[in-house]
Amino acid sequence: MAKRALITGITGQDGAYLTELLLSKGYEVHGLLRRASLFNTDRIDHLYHDPHVGGTSLSLHYGDLTDGTALRRVLETVAPDEIYNLGAQSHVKVSFEVPEYTADVVALGTLRLLEALRDHVAHGGGPVRCDQAGSSEMFGSAPPPQNEGTPFQPRSPYAASKLAAHWYAVNYREAYGLFICNGILFNHESPRRGETFVSRKVTRAVGRIREGLQQKLFLGNLEARRDWGFAGDYVEAMWLMLQQEAPDDYVVATGQSRSVRELVEIAFAEAGLDWRRHVELDQRYVRPTEVDALEGDASKARE
The residues of the shown chain that bind ligand GDP, judged by CB under 6 A, are: 92-93, 137, 187, 196-198, 201, 219-221, 224, 226, 260, 285, 287, 290
Compute the distance between CA of residue 229 and CA of residue 214 in angstroms, rounded to an integer.
28
Q: Is the separation of the CB atoms in 149 and 215 below 8 Å?
A: no
> How many of the other CB atoms lie within 10 Å of CB of 221?
16
Strands 28-33, 129-135: pairing is unpaired
Nearer to ligand NAP, 183 or 209 (CB): 183
Part in contact with ligand NAP (CB under 6 A); list of ranges 28-36, 45-53, 139-147, 255-263: 28-36
Q: Is the separation of the CB atoms in 138 and 170 below 8 Å?
A: no
Nearer to ligand NAP, 128 or 138 (CB): 138
147 binds, among ligand GDP, ligand NAP, none (CB under 5 to 8 A by kind): none
List 5, 29, 32, 242, residue binding ligand NAP (CB under 6 A) = 32
- CA torsion 224→225→227→231, rounded to 10°? 30
Nearer to ligand NAP, 36 or 175 (CB): 36
Compute the distance between CA of residue 43 and CA of residue 177 in angstroms, rounded to an integer.
35
Work out how close the CB of 90 gets to ligand GDP at its nearest, in angstroms, rounded to a whole number: 8
Helix (H) or strand (E) holding 92: helix 92-97
Compute the distance between CA of residue 200 and CA of residue 267 in angstroms, rounded to an integer.
10
Part in contact with ligand NAP (CB under 6 A); list of ranges 33-41, 75-83, 207-215, 284-292: 33-41
Nearer to ligand NAP, 66 or 147 (CB): 66
Part in contact with ligand NAP (CB under 6 A); list of ranges 50-58, 61-69, 147-155, 256-264: 61-69
Strands 225-226, 279-281: pairing is unpaired
Q: Shortest CA distance to 121 belongs to which of 67, 176, 74? A: 176
Residues with catalytic annotation?
A: 135, 137, 158
Residue nearest to ligand NAP (CB): 12
List 22, 28, 82, 87, residue binding ligand NAP (CB under 6 A) = 87
- Tell me the residue length of the chain: 303
Q: For binding to ligand NAP (CB under 6 A), which residues are involved?
A: 8-15, 32, 34, 36, 40, 64-66, 86-90, 105, 133, 135, 185, 187-188, 194
